[in-house]
Amino acid sequence: YLNLTKNSSLAVAIGYPDLVSILNTTINQTGQGIEGVALIMAAYLTVSLSISAFMNWYNKRIALVER
């Protein structure tokens, strides 16, 4: 699921360009490029880690128990 989210054309087409375009405008107006890029990285990292944590929890929940 994490790989699907990272490679999803729907997420790239809808969600990421909105975030990037808003931050590009902010970077161009304020000149604070490092902070803008850090926000993009933090948002992407948050989505990736959230999906990873959920899938790890789900995997532990449905794992077969050995006797």
Sign of the four-CA dihedral 59, 61, 64, 67: positive
The residue behind tokens 């590009």 is: 24
Question: Does the pLDDT of residue 2 top 80, yes or no?
Answer: no
What pLDDT score was predicted for residue 43?
Answer: 81
What pLDDT score was predicted for residue 15?
Answer: 66
Helix axes 33-62, 9-30, angle to 10 degrees: 150
Which helix (H) or strand (E) segment is 4 a member of?
A: helix 2-7
Q: What is the pLDDT of residues 28-59, one digit of tens each?
A: 898 888 888 888 888 888 888 888 899 899 99
Higher pLDDT, 7 or 50: 50
Do the Cβ atoms of 9 and 29 come closer than 8 Å?
no
